[in-house]
Structure 1
Amino acid sequence: MGTGAVENSYEDRCRRSLAEEQAKSLADTNDWEHVDRQRVHQDWDVLYREITASLDEGSLPEDPQIQELVRRHFDIVSRFYTPSREAYLGMSLFYAEDEAMRAFHDSYHPKMVEFMGAAIKVFAQQGSGFAPSTGAEASA
C-alpha cells in the first residue's frame, strides 16, 4: 500500500469492502448457517500454531511456506464466503484494529497480527482466487 492519504483511502475501501461483503454473505446464508464453526475454529487453531512455529523459526511474510499458510487461511475464510482482494486486506486491518481480534490472534504469538497483516498483503498482491471487487481497485 502507498503512503499518506492514498494509503488511508485504500485502507478505508478495504474496510468498507469487508463490511459490505460480510453483511451480504450473512444475509444470503442465514448468518452463515452452512459453516461448521467448530471445524473452522479447530482448523484455525492448527493453522495459527503452525504460523507461530514459523514465526519462532524466523520466517518472513513473503516466504513460500508462509504464503502457503496464508492460502490455507484464505481457504478457511472462504468457507464463509469468498472475499474480494480488498475485503481480505480489510480482514487483516480488522485483526489489527479490533481489540478482541487482536487479543485472540496475539494470544498465539505477540507478533501474530502484524505478521499476518504483512503476509496477507503479500498474498493479496500475488494471489488469485479472490471474488470480484466491490468497486475498489486492486491497487494494494
Structure 2
Amino acid sequence: MLLSSADPVYLDQCRAALAAEQAKSLAETNNWSHVDKAQIHADWQVLYTGMAAALDGLAADSEAAQGWIAQHCAIASRFYPPSKDAYIGLALFYEENADMKAYHNAYHPQMVAFLGDAIYTYAMTRM
C-alpha cells in the first residue's frame, strides 16, 4: 500500500483528523504535560536508529517493517491514541513539514518515504 496512491480527498481528511485530535489532546492535557518528553526522545532515537539500519531493501508492508511501525505507533500513542486517519495524517505531516522531514531523513535519506508507506499500511490494515 502506497501513501502516494491514496485518494487526495481522503488524505485531506487525515490531515484534518490529525489537527483536530492533536488540538483536543493538547487542550485536555495541558500541552501534553503527562508525557515524559526526555524518554520519548530517547525512544524515538532508538527506534529510528534501528529502523535506519534495517531500511535498505525493507518493504514497507513486510512483517519486519510493520513491527517497527507498531513500535512507532506505541510511542506516538503516549501523547494520545490517534485514530487511523490521524495516524495517516502524522505520516503526511512528516512529509510536508520541512523540519520533520529533515529530522527523520537525517536517520536515513528514505526514512520519510518509508514511514509514509509503512504507516499507511499499518493504519489501513491494523487500526
* Shorter-chain TM-score range: over 0.9
Residue in structure 1 matched with residue 115 of structure 2 by the alignment: 116
Query: 1:62 offset after TM fit, Å?
Result: 0.9
Question: Taking structure 1 as reference, are residues 2 and 101 closer, same or farther at Cα in structure 2, changes over 3 Å only?
Answer: closer
Residue in structure 2 matched with residue 67 of structure 1 by the alignment: 66
Deviations 1:66-85 (A, max 9, x none): 10110000000100000000
**Match of 1:44, as an amino acid?**
W
Q: Percent identity?
A: 46
Query: 1:7 offset after TM fit, Å?
Result: 1.3
RMSD: 1.4
Residue in structure 2 matched with residue 15 of structure 1 by the alignment: 15
**Match of 1:97, as an amino acid?**
E
Higher mean C-alpha displacement, 81-90 vs 6-15: 6-15
Residue in structure 2 matched with residue 44 of structure 1 by the alignment: 44
2:95 counterpart SS class? helix
Query: 1:125 offset after TM fit, Å?
Result: 1.4
Query: 1:2 offset after TM fit, Å?
Result: 8.4
Give the count of matched residue pairs: 125
Q: Which ranges of 4 or more aligned residues in structure 1 deviate by more than 4 Å?
A: none
Q: Which has the higher helix share?
A: 2
**Match of 2:66, as an amino acid?**
Q
Aligned counterparts of 1:61 and 1:88: Cα–Cα separation in 2: 16
Residue in structure 1 matched with residue 87 of structure 2 by the alignment: 88
**Match of 1:89, as an amino acid?**
I
Aligned counterparts of 2:118 and 2:8: Cα–Cα separation in 1: 19
Deviations 1:106-137 (A, max 9, x none): 00000000000000011011113xxxxxxxxx
Q: Which has the larger radius of gyration?
A: 1
Question: Taking structure 1 as reference, are residues 33 and 125 closer, same or farther at Cα in structure 2, changes over 3 Å only?
Answer: same
**Match of 2:63, as an amino acid?**
P
Scaled by the length of structure 2, the TM-score of the pair is 0.94
Aligned counterparts of 1:2 and 1:107: Cα–Cα separation in 2: 22
